[in-house]
């Protein structure tokens, strides 16, 4: 397998083709390949500004790495400057559990979109564990602040009670630790680690979908913690009823406490977020630029923050005040990238039909020939990957099919991709084309 440096060097020409020269010079010249671990390609930068710039091009980076590596990898962009300055707040557990001290309730911007979720999260930091808030599951789209709340809960609890055993972990890391325990025959130590804590903060629970062994292990971990009156807080990109395939008994557990959703922020909340991000910067940002960014980036707080930080960085580096025309030019790549990702089911269906040279609306029809069912299954799979539609909503877009048909189709495509590299490449290329050419 190639090293991180070799993969990065091979990926750079592809990245340059898909990023403007200004964007590349601003964002990529300060980035360094760090390591490859657990199928994750780690990129290091020395400042949050550069991390946020790279986040704007995450899709391009992931596509480039997948192209030169021959298979997809997760990309993690890390500000190692923070690590050099100070360590995060750690639980009593040794290992990889690090809470980000920058994520607190004080700097979490509350709006109509997240007020209930924030109140529920804060409530579990105030005292005894309550059945009403245990477990607490917060769900919503990417970049809306779910992980921020997880870290805020952990930081708040440790600030009030430093001896509390708090563990933050992603669902993927839980699975990888479980697999490693099986391989090394250290199951007992694994269970002691995860079942002896006071507070479990688990990110991206939807990752457990289809991982039967991991679901089984987490089910028993969950029961052990709850029966011992320990607090569990989780996040997901969708409600439990829409996580498939998932054991019904685990789905019931996930729904057994309090479930709260986070929606995209409204205009006023977006403005408040932007203003909060420039308070510490010695840069004067006109109100019209806040309005420009808030009008353009509507569905993702991470992108919103990245956009304003890019403007601040440009002003600091160039030693110039930012005018509206300059802001438009700086963010042209960013806005077009954000707009490309507004993809709906009809657009996906149309592109899949074009890819397979099918007549219009064939995929939505009741025709069951293999030449139609296979593209239909692919289109359903891509809808699940690129939209926020629930399974019943996807079924409705495909001629009123029920959610069990959608589940079957998604699983068929997942199985095909796992068994055949060419199938995986074909579908990944189709997904890339859909994301790249949406206008």
C-alpha to C-alpha distance for 60 and 134, rounded to whole angstroms:
39
Q: Is 82 helix (H, G, I), strand (E, B) or coil?
A: helix
Compute mean pLDDT per 10 residues along the chain, 439 residues long, and list them. Answer: 87 87 75 84 80 79 87 83 47 54 89 91 82 91 90 94 93 92 93 95 91 94 96 92 86 92 91 85 84 85 84 79 81 58 82 83 82 90 86 89 88 85 81 66
Q: What range does the domain containing 387 cover?
A: 345-437
Rounded CA Rg of the chain:
22
Give the CATH number, domain containing residue 70. Answer: 3.30.300.180
Question: In the numeric block, which tokens belong to residue 220?
Answer: 């028993």
**Diameter of the chain by CA atoms?**
64
For residue 394, the Cα-to-chain-centroid distance in whole angstroms is 21
C-alpha to C-alpha distance for 386 and 431, rounded to whole angstroms:
8
Do 382 and 330 lie in one domain? The reply is no
Q: Among the three residues 262, 297, 323, which one is the final residue of a domain in this structure?
A: 262
For residue 336, what pLDDT is reported? 54
For residue 171, what pLDDT is reported? 92
Do 249 and 300 lie in one domain? The reply is no
Give the CATH number, domain containing residue 369. Answer: 1.10.1750.10
Regarding pTM above 0.75, the answer is no
Do 79 and 100 lie in one domain? The reply is no
Do 101 and 182 lie in one domain? The reply is yes
C-alpha to C-alpha distance for 366 and 378, rounded to whole angstroms:
16
For residue 87, what pLDDT is reported? 43
Question: In the numeric block, which tokens belong to residue 312?
Answer: 């601040």
For residue 89, what pLDDT is reported? 42
């Amino acid at each position: 397998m190639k090293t991180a440096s070799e993969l990065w060097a091979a990926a750079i020409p592809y990245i340059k083709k898909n990023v403007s020269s200004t964007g590349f010079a601003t964002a990529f010249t300060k980035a360094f390949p760090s390591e490859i671990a657990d199928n994750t390609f780690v990129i290091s930068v020395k400042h949050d500004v550069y991390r946020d710039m790279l986040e704007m091009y995450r899709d391009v980076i992931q596509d480039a790495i997948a192209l030169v590596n021959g298979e997809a990898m997760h990309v993690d962009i890390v500000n190692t400057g923070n690590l050099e300055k100070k360590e995060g707040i750690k639980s009593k557990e040794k290992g990889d559990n690090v809470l980000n001290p920058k994520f607190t309730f004080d700097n979490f911007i509350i709006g109509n979109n997240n007020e209930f979720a924030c109140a529920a999260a804060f409530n579990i930091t105030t005292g005894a564990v309550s059945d009403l808030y245990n477990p607490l599951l917060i769900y919503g789209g990417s970049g809306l602040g779910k992980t921020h709340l997880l870290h805020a809960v952990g930081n708040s609890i440790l600030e009030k009670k430093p001896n509390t055993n708090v563990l933050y972990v992603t669902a993927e890391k839980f699975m990888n630790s479980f697999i490693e325990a099986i391989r090394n025959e250290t199951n007992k130590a694994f269970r002691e680690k995860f079942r002896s804590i006071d507070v479990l903060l688990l990110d991206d629970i939807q990752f457990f979908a289809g991982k039967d062994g991991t679901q089984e292990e987490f089910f028993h971990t969950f029961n052990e913690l709850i029966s011992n009156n320990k607090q569990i807080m989780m996040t997901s990109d969708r409600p439990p009823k829409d996580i498939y395939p998932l054991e019904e008994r685990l789905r019931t557990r996930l729904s057994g406490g309090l479930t709260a959703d986070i929606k995209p922020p409204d205009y006023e909340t977006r403005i408040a977020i932007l203003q909060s991000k420039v308070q510490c910067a010695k840069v004067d940002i006109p109100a019209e630029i806040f309005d420009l960014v808030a009008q353009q980036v509507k569905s993702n707080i991470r992108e919103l923050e990245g956009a304003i930080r890019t403007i601040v960085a440009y002003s600091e580096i160039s030693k110039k005040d930012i005018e509206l025309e300059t802001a438009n030019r700086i963010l042209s790549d960013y806005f077009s990238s954000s707009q490309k990702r507004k993809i709906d089911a009809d657009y996906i269906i149309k592109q899949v039909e074009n890819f397979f040279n099918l007549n219009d609306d064939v995929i939505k029809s009741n025709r069951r020939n293999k030449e139609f069912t296979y593209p239909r299954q692919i289109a359903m799979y891509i809808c699940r990957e690129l939209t926020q539609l629930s399974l019943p909503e996807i079924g409705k877009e495909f001629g009123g099919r029920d959610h069990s048909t959608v589940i079957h189709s998604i699983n068929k495509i997942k199985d095909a991709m796992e068994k055949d590299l060419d199938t995986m490449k074909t579908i990944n290329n189709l997904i890339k084309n859909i994301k790249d050419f949406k206008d």
